[in-house]
Amino acid sequence: MKLIWTNGCYDIVHIGHIKLFQYAKSLGDKLIVGIDSDNRVKSLKGNSRPINIQENRKLFLESIKYIDQVVIFDSHEQLTGYIKKF
């Protein structure tokens, strides 16, 4: 089984994201999407972000047919750990 990984904050999902997920899924058997935690989004994008909390972003992404699994990460180390795990 070939796993494909992509990650980001995905705070405001748009057509470019959907095309990314569609393309990424075409490259393998399973697409896993990592999303930045609320704390990480705030530190990366500023105090006015995220607009959508991590649980809502996760649920929204899980409803997209190209995505097989969504995980939330809170640090670079945790992100690296997830990538190595999968």
Q: Which two tokens stand for residue 8?
A: 């980001």
The confidence band for 14, taking pLDDT boundaries of 50, 70 and 90, is very high
The confidence band for 86, taking pLDDT boundaries of 50, 70 and 90, is confident
Tell me the C-alpha distance between 6 and 80, whole Å. 12
Whether the pLDDT of residue 85 is over 90: the answer is no
**What digits encode the pLDDT tens for the residues 21-63?**
999 999 999 999 999 999 999 999 999 999 999 999 999 999 9
Q: How far apart are the first and last CA of the chain?
A: 11
- Is the pTM higher than 0.85? yes
Neighbours of 14 (CB within 10 A): 9
Give the pLDDT confidence score for residue 25 in this predicted structure. Answer: 98
